[in-house]
Amino acid sequence: MANNSQKTSKIIKPAVILCRIVVGLTFLFSGFVKGVDPVGVAIKLKEYFVALGIDFLSPSSPLGSDFVATFSLTAAVALSLFEFVLGFAILFGSYRKLAPTLALITMLVMTPLTLYLAIENPVHDCGCFGEAVVLSNWQTFYKNLVLTAASIFLLLYNHKAVALYAKQMRSVPTLFSAIFLLSISVVSYMYQPILDFRPYKSGTNIREAMQQSDAQPEYIFIYEKDGEEREFAIDEIPMNDTLWRFVDRIERLPEGVKINETLDFYIYDNDTEISEDILMDENYSFMVLVPSIKDYDNSWDDKILSLYDYAFEHSYNFFVLTPESEEFSVRMNEMGISLPCYTMDETVIETIARGNPAIAMMKDGILYWKIAARDLIDITNYNTDIEGTPLAKIEEYNVNRRYIILATIYILPLIFLYLCQKAVAHFVEKARVRRRKLFATKRRESKTSCETEQQNITTNITEDSDNTNYKPKNFKTMRKNIVAGNWKMNKTLQEGVELAKGVETALNERTPNCDVIIGTPFIHLATIAATVDTKKLGVSAENCADKVSGAYTGEVSAAMVASTGAEYVILGHSERRAYYGETAEILKEKVLLALANNLKVIFCIGEVLEEREAGKEFEVVKAQIEESLFNLTAEDWNKIILAYEPVWAIGTGKTATAEQAQEMHAFIRKTVAEKYGEEVAEATSILYGGSCKPSNAKELFANKDVDGGLIGGASLDVEQFMGIVDAF
């Protein structure tokens, strides 16, 4: 059984990492390719609105084209930002519950939608990866099924693998990721996409590409005879041999010719196609691209007219490409402007260049460059022909260089943040070690004066003082904050080792403001103490015997506990008192033996429900302390950690408030002060052990006399346990 659990554990962690990579990279890439072309995504969203019958967001919406355009663009940017940041969080393990939850919700929405698209086929492709990778609707549906399954797995087991960035640090790289993609979207919208996944890239020879697209396929016929299949050209078909049976016909392009289904560069002058004339023209051709007359931005007319005058003066071609050439000509004529206008499909215009208007230049079928109108240079500064201007140069599109630049801008800061996290953790740990050494020195120096003054302090604290009126000096910074886990009778050896390693790894990712201890069953002690770094993670036994050694079958002595490497032992737990009849005298012996073997004692005290309802809680707790601990010297007391358990609030449906916890902790500290003096009391850590959870830990620990918690069930889950540790 244990071996099966261990094998399962070894499988789950790699599976979690694999799912993080698959889901994270998919969302990251999807958000990125959308972010570099927000206008293209907005166009695809409009197609969705029409296909899904969302009339108020269709191009003919009564709200107006401006509203639809603005909404579509905003939705495109928001969608890309959401996917990119979510992909980052999943890939690097940040927000280990929230991120998989959001991913699953997204997939539960998108998977049925893509199934509908696959069946009805209202749009050609889903556009999930923009124009970078075009998937069919069925391919997209299958992809979403895989992502849905992986998201469910992450939701269940994401806590099994650690995050790259600590909980305290994770918001910084997440915010940086959002700013990075938002910046790319803004630049791509204002100018042109930083990465161009469209077929009309700068430098493309459209004429050759169109010729490849129009190449005639060769038909190959497949026949079968005697179980053997052979291919025949059309003039080689074995018509006279009736034993050959026809199987299939396939189309094959001539060698060296590639299919190019995305180019649709067709231009019309009224009803006459003039595409070939333009592609064959060896003269320079300036093209003004206007995908929508309604949304045309006329603020750049002066630049465009200057370019027209320049082209006319030097006998270069100049024309406007728009889906409605006649309407555009009428609009220009009303403004007193006459420009040659030709017709082209709106989608093709938008594919060539983003912007309304945008400018492009072509010569001999080669697309030299394409820019937004705002980037057009002031051509009036040049009196020479085009060869003497920057316009004559083919814009070099080096995709690899752009990838390297973008990757450097994004990845280097993430690496820097990770190194900063490690450096801070290192220095904080060194500071904690120095602080502990300093405190130990001060405690030794003050021991003598403490013993001398304790009697005088005792006389100033009367028995009839109000329990909540204990006014300690500001010594809390001198005593330790502690979060201790008590596993009780849970976990096999293999499961326990895995849990301990998980806690240790989680501690390495953060800089906790408290000591962290795990209390394990006896079977775990030696293995875990040898496995973890006990300087960072304390190890405790849950009990020890009240005998030194001998014929006590099943018992474990304090010396045995110490020999495992454990540093602490939990004594006096309410379950030991209730189920095994441990009395004050038995506990007194256990404490003495533990201290004799140099173990630190986490001593539990607390009242049951009947005692609380009878108003005897203070009397009971005081008696438990006095009868088992007040025989110790002040020096021995330095190795005692108290843990208050309101037994009545554990598993009874009743809840102890933070105020009730503080009230009892203040009383306990006053009780200790009466015996050992105020300074010793102020140096004593008092933990709370009544159903402490991540949701209430911060409120509990904010009390001046609550120095941490003794945690039960929540200590069996790394994330919950760390949530309590993080409360400090």
Contacts of 509 (CB under 8 A, 6+ apart): 162, 163, 165, 166, 167, 425
Interatomic CA distance for residues 495 and 714, integer angstroms:
15
Which residue type does 350 have? E
What end-to-end distance do the CA atoms of the chain give, in Å? 38
Catalytic residue among 498, 573, 582, 682: 573
Interatomic CA distance for residues 117 and 394, integer angstroms:
40
Catalytic residue among 131, 509, 582, 645: 645
Interatomic CA distance for residues 292 and 137, integer angstroms:
28
Interatomic CA distance for residues 278 and 286, integer angstroms:
11
Q: Do the Cβ atoms of 367 and 204 come closer than 8 Å? A: yes
Q: With helix as H, strand as E and coil as C, how does 64-86 read?
A: CHHHHHHHHHHHHHHHHHHHHHH
Angle between helices 718-725 and 493-508 (to 10 degrees): 40
**Cα dihedral 148/149/152/157 (nearest 10):** -140
645 belongs to the catalytic site: yes
Q: Give, in order, the Cα–Cα distances in Å from 174 to each of 17, 171, 181, 536.
A: 19, 5, 11, 28
Interatomic CA distance for residues 282 and 478, integer angstroms:
85
Interatomic CA distance for residues 145 and 135, integer angstroms:
14
Neighbouring CB atoms inside 10 A of 517's CB total 27
What tokens does 619 get? 């009397």
Q: Do the Cβ atoms of 267 and 344 come closer than 8 Å? A: yes
Residue 553 burial (C-beta neighbours within 10 Å; 0-12, 13-18, 19+):
exposed
Interatomic CA distance for residues 623 and 438, integer angstroms:
34
Q: Do the Cβ atoms of 667 and 680 come closer than 8 Å? A: no
> Phi-psi region for residue 445, left (φ > 0), alpha (ψ -120 to 50) or beta?
alpha
Sheet containing strand 245-252, edge to edge, reads 228-233, 218-225, 245-252
DSSP per-residue letters across 323-382: S-HHHHHHHHHHTT----EEE--HHHHHHH--SSSEEEEEETTEEEEEEEGGG---GGG-
509 belongs to the catalytic site: no
Task: Return the active site residues.
Answer: 573, 645
